[in-house]
Structure 1
């Protein structure tokens, strides 16, 4: 049961008792399909329109940028993107090449988060 199967987001939403954070899984079946088909669907657009009315912030966790850029599917319905890069793993050249290939994304990037930073190896970041 999930959003991709035509369920209402209210049917599949989970609310954390500790934080009040509401999460809506797009796919709970474990079967990976063509995510860009779902992300660009009228159902996804309707979900995002309703979610924007209901919540102050709507965060969409998308697959990594790579051969298929799912971010392009939801770009028209978002205010921007936060690019997450893994410290020591994500080559700068790769990020530059992906953004060069999809210049529409560049205007939408609000910032970059560098995750999994090893502060012992990067003392200048402390």
Structure 2
């Protein structure tokens, strides 16, 4: 399983036009754009993995993030003949001045509003997940 913390929102209950999504561009393969994510280490729970991977890939640790409770989206798709599951969660960046520090796995990053994030993400299931996450934030979890 992969896990991710995908969104940055400006303020505790941000207006929809201030929501930005963190996407990282891989430095390998097709150079695709995704939120931070990675494989679960033995003994880790989902949240621990999401926080660790976000810190490793973007330099954003648990001191930089505030979890948005209640949103969890699962994606399933084949990779090299095997089923892959990715869990997406949502967190807000506590301090908007916090810098993203990329790992060697990525060559670029972007904080993007939903329309641009969906254009960069390209895959329909990820676009649907980003849209659902934004809707969840906009409605304060009351969908």
TM-score normalized with structure 1 length: 0.26
Which is strand-richer, 1 or 2? 2
TM-score normalized with structure 2 length: 0.24
Which structure has more relative contact order (CA 8 Å, sep 6+)? It is: 2
